[in-house]
Amino acid sequence: MTSQLAQLKAHTTVVADTGDFRLMAQFAPQDATTNPSLILKAVQKPEYAPLLADTVAAHRGAAHADIVDEVLVRFGLEILKVVPGRVSTEVDARLSFDTAATLVRARHIMGLYEAAGVPRSRVLIKVAATWEGIQAARVLEAEGIHTNLTLLFAFAQARACADAGVQLISPFVGRIYDWHKKSAGAQWDEAARAGENDPGVQSVARIWRYYKQHGVRTEVMGASFRNVGQITALAGCDLLTISPELLAQLQASDAALPRLLTPPTSTEAPEAPLSEADFRYQLNEDAMATEKLAEGIRLFAADAAKLDALIDAQLAAPASA
């Protein structure tokens, strides 16, 4: 029998959502995504401790931010030995409201990949989908550095990303689901809000259909899944980035997995671009998106700080250690 994972790959590009490059190999994903939390989780595993130590030791004396980027890219290089496609590497979330600083870090990260012989076509620079992040992505795309706009919860964010010509967006299914479930409290009906009725699934499907309807070239990659049902309900989406735990569940099941998202039969002209004022107002009107974007930046920033601390501990150790 054909596994659900194999069936999904017939409709959608499957991406591994992990920094654990040894674990992802068994699922044969096309691409892989990382973020500060996933890298932090990976470097704390005993099997990856030497990678962190060796990378820090090789760059003693460099600026701290540069050492962080070296660590991120080192993981990215190992991931690219496993996947045939692209790896996403994230700019420090603490720069989410600073366009100029985001550009500096993004260019530095891409430069490290290029110095290692990796072409730009195999790297996506992840940036938070704030207004400032989206404007940085606009500049990067014009320079031939492709971007993955993350922490995307609102339709306004998706519209602005399309306007900026970004390569790919990562709308977060699970965190949208989490917010609505918490908001509903005792009134939440899990069965009634499952699958195609899941609010996170509905958000991604709406964006995907809008992009296809208006001829937007930006790729849509559903992310942050809580269960297999959310994944199967988005079969047909351009890409889905999935944790190893859920990839294993898909691999273990041979239940039918039909394509549920199908492109429209006709297209329309793109709508007028959103102004900064329109973007900020529409985002402000979306309580879920406003709260989850802020929370996501705080969480990624906290994990970036923890990674900083691990690097500091390595730098404080004797050089011969």
- Domain spans of the chain, in order of start: 4-316
Residue 7 is predicted with a pLDDT of 98
Pairing of strands 239-242, 123-128: unpaired
DSSP 101-141: HHHHHHHHHHHHHHHTT--GGGEEEEEE-SHHHHHHHHHHH
Q: ∠ CA 291-292-294 to the nearest 5 degrees?
A: 70
Q: Name the nearest CA neighbour of 44 among 19, 77, 25.
A: 19
306 has catalytic annotation: no
DSSP lists the bridge partners of residue 15 as: 31, 241
pLDDT in tens, the chain (321 residues): 799 999 999 999 999 999 999 999 999 999 999 988 999 999 999 999 899 999 999 999 999 999 999 999 999 999 999 999 999 999 999 999 999 999 999 999 999 999 999 999 999 999 999 999 999 999 999 999 999 999 999 999 999 999 999 999 999 999 999 999 999 999 999 999 999 999 999 999 999 999 999 999 999 999 999 999 999 999 999 999 999 999 999 999 999 999 999 999 888 988 999 999 999 999 999 999 999 999 999 999 999 999 999 999 999 987 654
Task: Identify residue 172 by its one-letter amino acid code.
Answer: F
Place of tokens 């995907």: 208
Of 9, 41, 126, 292, the catalytic one is 126
DSSP lists the bridge partners of residue 148 as: 126, 168
Could you write out the three-class secondary structure of 13-44? EEEEECCCHHHHHHHCCCEEECCHHHHHHHHC
What CA–CA distance (Å, rounded) separates 170 from 173?
9
What is this structure's pTM? 0.96
DSSP 138-176: HHHHHTT--EEEEEE-SHHHHHHHHHHT-SEEEEBHHHH
Q: Contact 240/221 with Cβ under 8 angstroms?
A: yes
Domain at 4-316: CATH code = 3.20.20.70
Place of tokens 């460099």: 62
CB-based burial label for 155 (10 Å; 0-12, 13-18, 19+): middle
How large is the angle between the packed helices 155-164 and 131-142, nearest 10 degrees? 20
What CA–CA distance (Å, rounded) separates 138 from 21?
30
Q: Name the nearest CA neighbour of 65 among 97, 32, 112, 19.
A: 112
Q: How many CB atoms lie within 10 A of CB 234?
A: 30
